[in-house]
Structure 1
Amino acid sequence: MPDALSNTAENAALDWINGVGTPTRPTTPLKVALVTAAGTDTAAGTEVTGGSYARQNLTLAAAVAGATSNSADLTWAAMPACTVVGVEVWDSAGTPVRLWYGPLTASRTVAAGDDFKLTAGTLSMTLS
């Protein structure tokens, strides 16, 4: 997800780097959501619903050269039938804030009851 920060996250990062205001650190753990329709900088995508689907906790490796990725597999068990086109990363505040969004390299169609997995290192986030 190169440069796929939501406007909210972009503003917080700029304010923090430039010493402007007092941006609040996202509430952890960060959560990964799967979407069936892509979002934009200002609007969330259409999140998967049904089956045993639930957002998964994201564990990240330390950033190197402006990039990081998931350091553990992300697995959604017993998915509903759907076509996953992308992912979004949210914080876990009482009213969650969307931080990142982006497409999968290729959409994946999942049959009802199947598992969906993103192996460690495949969900990458970069600033460039």
Structure 2
Amino acid sequence: MSPISDNLTNTAENLTLDWINGVGSPTRPTTPLKVALVTANGSDSAAGTEVTGGSYARQSLSVAAAVSGATSNSADVVFTGMPAATVVGVEVWDSAGTPVRLWYGALAASRTVVAGDEVRLTAGSLALSIA
């Protein structure tokens, strides 16, 4: 898993800057944050193509407090009952009624998954930082 350093979406960048600069009343993301798997990576302004089918569902993300501008998942993130797919990246969304995409990033290497398989992001493998 590659770190998704400096891969904040435009929305997350604007929220962060507004909060740091005391501008307006930026809304804090609704927790828990959720990890999504994608078969085509997104960009700053557009979401990737999320996995669909099987028992796939976004999974909750637990993170430790940031140290030196970085953090990572503090527990395994496990997706079970996957459909057949080639997973190329991850995205982090909040849990609002209309979810907001906050982070995105490519895997170091794509992963071909067979139907019914499990995808596990082990604790510490999903690195989040602001570079």
Query: What's the TM-score once normalised by structure 2's chain length?
Result: 0.97
Cα offsets for 1:33-58 (capped at 9, x unmatched): 00000000000000000001000000
Moved over 4 A (4+): none
Which residue is 1:28 aligned to? 31
Unaligned runs of 5+ in 2: none
Could you say which residue in structure 2 is the equivalent of 1:11? Answer: 14
SS at match of 1:31: strand
Structure 2 residue 74 is the aligned partner of structure 1 residue 67: no
Q: Aligned to 1:116, which of 111, 115, 119?
A: 119
Kindly provide the CA deviation profile for residues 86-116 of structure 1, in whole angstroms up to 9, marking residues without a partner as x: 0000000000000000001111000111111
| Alignment root-mean-square deviation, CA | 0.5
Which amino acid counterpart does residue 45 of structure 1 have in structure 2? G
Distance in 1 of aligned mates of 2:36 and 2:79 = 10
Return the alpha-carbon distance in structure 2 between the equivalents of residues 86 and 61 of structure 1: 22
Indicate the percent of aligned positions where both proteins have the same amino acid: 75
Residue deviations 1:19-76, cap 9 Å, x none?
1111000000000000000000000000000001000000001100000000000111
**1:78 Cα deviation after fit:** 1.2
How many equivalent pairs are there? Answer: 128
User: What is the TM-score with the length of structure 1 in the denominator?
Assistant: 0.99
Structure 2 residue aligned with 1:47, among 35, 50, 56?
Answer: 50
